[in-house]
Chains A and B, each alone.
Chain A
């Protein structure tokens, strides 16, 4: 199933599509206001982009520096080549504690590795403590957005879910009362948590510390109540120095939600006395992407979600239409690296309008990479054969002026003569699903031009090479 088919399903509910589009556009507008208010915002983007480029250019060195600093802080450092290793390492740590109850704050990496089902399968209770994550965990759904995981749900949907799982009153949809129910529920889970897992927004090579940005404070609560903290991070989360961090925190919240800064920016450097801290550093396809010069820059992503909020396709097709942990434009350039066949339609789920590139706080050339993935997919025969053959045919036609002129005449004539029902039949004309075809003129421009007096036709008499 490709993106277009999944998008069409989403579009069936036109009102919900409108609501989804407007909700995310509201976030985009909030982002705009926050960005306009910072005169040096474009310089910040450039700086952030350069810091990330630099870091990626010597990632091996920074990873070693980070590991050494973390070890010196008394932190356990683990390396995972892929999702399976990541999951096994975490299960092992949990088991060593004899723990059965894990609380988790938001982490797209653990989603990517499918950690929850893995732990649950091994008898561990995992509770997502981010409100949006908890909602979709109840519903057994994947996040539809990297910052706003339950953005596809309306408050009435949340009310239904909480009625089923938390016993709130049927039909309750007041956000405050629903949130209060979640707070009471999560409080008990926090207190019972034995191991706390968090994601990582930034890892500082020079200090060995990890920085976690949340709005709910759930990472802090989980980590401070549990005996053991496991922070899971991709290798691309590094920044060189603590003094670089401010560049990113200024960009992150503004780009994500239009806030000047996230409510909590928590630095975890070393375990408290009597506690343990683990950092799991994960590759899972990232070095492969690093080895692709055209797509390397995708690793600069700080997961702000701005490219999703601005994407006119994402807003109207929903995050699940991408069928990948990270949806939207950035997901469409990360996913083919993981599985080119499965995700071959994603780089085509874009008009290449370029808005994603222009909002990206670390200046990833997202739409150019979408274009380049299309070429890779075309070369690898991962585009529909019918498309490839028609493009081959067009290629020959358009390189030959004579054939081109003739085919144009033919097409216009056909359009004029054939009945509307045939030229606009949905079955073989996707254009006509919602659009009229242009009214074919009797004459093409080139035919008109040839009939004009010579002086208009050849004003400058330029020499034209054959």
Chain B
């Protein structure tokens, strides 16, 4: 099984420890992932801003970079969702179709490709899980409150398998955090307010460590937590699952 690691641009630059944790976690699970150095970005920031045409060369570069791998794994469901859903703009060559199908969010890959739903380890903290909309509603990695009252999902199960970890029950289980890519600056006011409300839900319900599988939501929420000096630590789920302590 040839597995490539896709590290979205902002993780590469600002959260290298998340990519390291992803690589190490995969190693522990018996997967030696490779990081093709020529990778850049999935093109989502451009496309979401209405510049899909400008993003096409980035899409092509992405496909060229990853077409030789069986799987492309990323610690960010949003990028994966973009590749799967919006690379329909490219000519659907065998390579393109392969890369679209091969793209996996890390947690999805662990759960559905590796078939792992429990992990060893302990994390004796109260953990608040932030569901990314693209992972949840886009890639169906968790139940949606629009459909069912049952709160279940891939990451919820993996986290719950760690000893001592207690999950926060949020008032609003799956409301968007307000990041939204360029939305976070073009609609900065609403974006910030959404993030503040999301964090407040965690604080109210006792979250000590806020986590999720999409670093872009977490970057936004962390920015809010740090600005307000709140007693919450933000960590990517890969770090927790890889055995890091807060």
Contact = CB atoms under 8 A, between A and B. Distances in A.
Majority SS at the chain B contact face = helix
Interface in B188-218: 188-197
A462 B7 contact: no
6 contacts: A4-B188, A351-B176, A354-B138, A398-B43, A435-B223, A463-B68
Interface of A: 3-4, 7-8, 11, 17, 21, 25, 32, 35-36, 42, 310, 312-313, 316-317, 348-355, 357-359, 371, 374-379, 383, 387-388, 391-392, 394-396, 398-401, 404, 408, 411-412, 430-431, 433-441, 443-450, 456-460, 462-466
Interface of B: 2-4, 7, 9-17, 19-20, 23, 27, 32-41, 43, 45-55, 57-58, 60-61, 64-65, 67-69, 86, 133-134, 137-138, 144-149, 172, 175-176, 178-197, 219-220, 222-224, 226-227
Contacts of B37: 401, 446, 449-450
Given A351-B178, A353-B176, A441-B14, A21 B185 contact: no
Contacts of B195: 434-435
A32 B149 contact: yes
Contacts of A401: 37-40, 61
A28 to B, nearest CB: 9
Given A11-B189, A435-B227, A383 B49 contact: yes
Given A412-B13, A434-B196, A7 B219 contact: no
Contacts of A412: 13-14
Given A32-B145, A358-B144, A4 B7 contact: no
Given A316-B190, A399-B58, A460-B34, A354 B40 contact: no
A462 B49 contact: no
A270 B55 CA distance: 57
Nearest to B17: A441
Contact of B34 (A42, A316, A431, A458): A458
B49 A374 contact: yes
Nearest to A447: B16
Given A443-B16, A444-B16, A398 B58 contact: yes
B58 A395 contact: yes
Contacts of B20: 445, 448
B183 A358 contact: no
A353 B60 CA distance: 26
Contacts of A450: 37
A354 to B, nearest CB: 4
A412 B147 CA distance: 42
B189 A378 contact: no
A463 B54 CA distance: 28
Given A436-B226, A459-B34, A462-B69, A313 B190 contact: yes
B31 to A, nearest CB: 9
A5 B242 CA distance: 43
Contact of A399 (B12, B57, B190): B57
A369 B115 CA distance: 35
Given A313-B187, A398-B41, A459-B32, 19 more contacts: A4-B189, A8-B189, A11-B189, A312-B176, A378-B50, A378-B51, A387-B50, A391-B45, A394-B45, A395-B46, A399-B57, A404-B41, A430-B185, A431-B188, A433-B192, A434-B223, A436-B227, A444-B13, A446-B12
